Amino acid sequence: MPSSAPLATALAPKTMPTLRLPAAEREGFAAGFRIISPLLPAIFSWGLVTGVAMSKSVLTVPQAIGMSLMLYAGSAQLATLPLFAAGMPLWTILLTVAIVNLRFVIFSAALQPHFSYLSLPRRIVLGYVNGDLGFVMFMNQNFANGYVPGKEGTYFGITISNWAVWHVSSILGIMLGALVPDSWGLGFAGTLALIPMMVHTITTRSMLLAVTLASVIGLLAFDLPYRLNLVLGVVGALAAGMVCDELTARHARKLSGGQR
């Protein structure tokens, strides 16, 4: 399979029909939906909890819905709510959002070799629908870099399904949040909803190490401002996963060399 950007560009379709996608991309989209579908109930639960939390903030319903649609980042949305309530200046709120969402810069850098041949508008759409879970589930498919038939469809099948369920549930939570009493403790329920999503993504030893290290770093750095513990956790997890994969590959090469 081609891996270089120029060759990928040459092999990639020059135009994309607006109403009918190539068969490989349609099949990829369906495959992407099947990949993410076991996690959609948990995504719905987390989105619902986030929506309820936003409805109980100082934001109006239109403001909360607009923020959810534009930002599409649950952790950043929740991080800004106490800042709005405290009347913090706008630059502080924007800085908090930027820092909390720094992990998406890392995600985008990892996706760049896969979709660098696409036009800028297409890549912007790819970036907008990207999320934590969608990124992990796509990368788990181990596609080759560059143009691969069906890869873009698979990505959109995963991420758009995630995007749609998240927004339906979060908007539902925003609209119905006033009917939910605080005594129900939905915040803890939302945390529980994240556990099966996390467990489902752990398929290798390196991923287990990455998740463990991210959890430890996140807890140890919990008191840092602007949710920097999230950024540090992501960086530490990526570094640990890369080191573990490299050590595993070296061990496999040694075993292969010893058997010759």
Q: Are residues 100 and 211 in the same domain?
A: no
Beta carbons of 172 and 54 less than 8 angstroms apart: no
**Last residue of a domain, which of 201, 218, 233?**
201
Q: Are residues 247 and 123 in the same domain?
A: no
Q: Are residues 190 and 247 in the same domain?
A: no
**Last residue of a domain, which of 151, 176, 201?**
201
DSSP string, 63-100: HHHHHHHHH--HHHHHHHHHHHHTT--HHHHHHHHHHH
Q: What is the pLDDT of residue 191?
A: 59
Q: Are residues 83 and 179 in the same domain?
A: yes
Q: What is the pLDDT of residue 250?
A: 75
**Last residue of a domain, which of 169, 201, 233?**
201
CA distance 7 to 39: 35
Kindly state whether residue 15 falls inside one of the protein's structural domains. no
In this prediction the pTM is: 0.68
Q: Are residues 166 and 208 in the same domain?
A: no
Planar angle of CA 40, 150, 123, nearest 5 degrees: 80
Give the list of residues 6+ apart from residue 130 with CB closer than 8 angstroms, or none. 104, 107, 108, 111, 159
Kindly state whether residue 6 falls inside one of the protein's structural domains. no
Q: What is the pLDDT of residue 6?
A: 52
Kindly state whether residue 121 falls inside one of the protein's structural domains. yes
In tens digits, the chain (260 residues) has pLDDT values of 444 455 554 455 544 444 456 888 889 999 999 999 988 888 888 888 888 888 888 888 888 888 888 888 888 888 888 888 778 888 888 888 888 888 888 888 889 999 999 999 999 999 999 988 889 889 888 898 888 899 999 999 999 999 999 999 999 988 887 676 665 555 555 555 566 656 666 767 777 787 788 888 888 888 887 667 777 877 787 787 777 777 777 766 676 665 55
Q: Are residues 70 and 124 in the same domain?
A: yes
Q: What is the pLDDT of residue 112?
A: 92
The count of domains in the chain is 2
DSSP state of 143: P
- Take residue 75 and report the two structure tokens written for it: 């952790």
Q: Are residues 68 and 163 in the same domain?
A: yes
Kindly state whether residue 16 falls inside one of the protein's structural domains. no
Q: What is the pLDDT of residue 15?
A: 44
Q: Are residues 103 and 164 in the same domain?
A: yes
Q: Are residues 103 and 209 in the same domain?
A: no
Kindly state whether residue 127 falls inside one of the protein's structural domains. yes
Q: Are residues 158 and 215 in the same domain?
A: no
Kindly state whether residue 216 falls inside one of the protein's structural domains. yes
Q: Are residues 179 and 249 in the same domain?
A: no
Kindly state whether residue 86 falls inside one of the protein's structural domains. yes
- The whole domain housing 219 covers 203-260
DSSP state of 23: H
Q: Are residues 154 and 186 in the same domain?
A: yes
Kindly state whether residue 9 falls inside one of the protein's structural domains. no
